[in-house]
Amino acid sequence: MCLLLGIAVTTAYAVLQEWPVTVPVQESSGGFAATLAIGAVAGLYPAVHVARLAPTVALAST
């Protein structure tokens, strides 16, 4: 969703400045991949950490 918003804003700004519209596919793909990697680490690290705890300890720490 945000990738499409970024492309739309870039296109609108380029059109307003009367520049040629170029949205590099490699950079867009790299940004999307980085977002997935950061989200996976941010979500999986705490989940794996808590999964190794005993249920009573995990519930007591919340």
The domain segmentation of the chain, as residue ranges, is 24-62
Question: Which pLDDT score is estimated for 62?
Answer: 60
Question: Which pLDDT score is estimated for 11?
Answer: 93
Question: Which pLDDT score is estimated for 56?
Answer: 85
Q: For the whole prediction, is pTM greater than 0.85? A: no
Mean pLDDT of each 10-residue bin along the chain, 62 residues long:
86 95 88 92 90 85 64
d(C-alpha 44, C-alpha 51), whole Å: 10
Q: Tell me if 43 sits within 8 A of 55, measured CB to CB.
A: no
Q: Tell me if 18 sits within 8 A of 43, measured CB to CB.
A: no
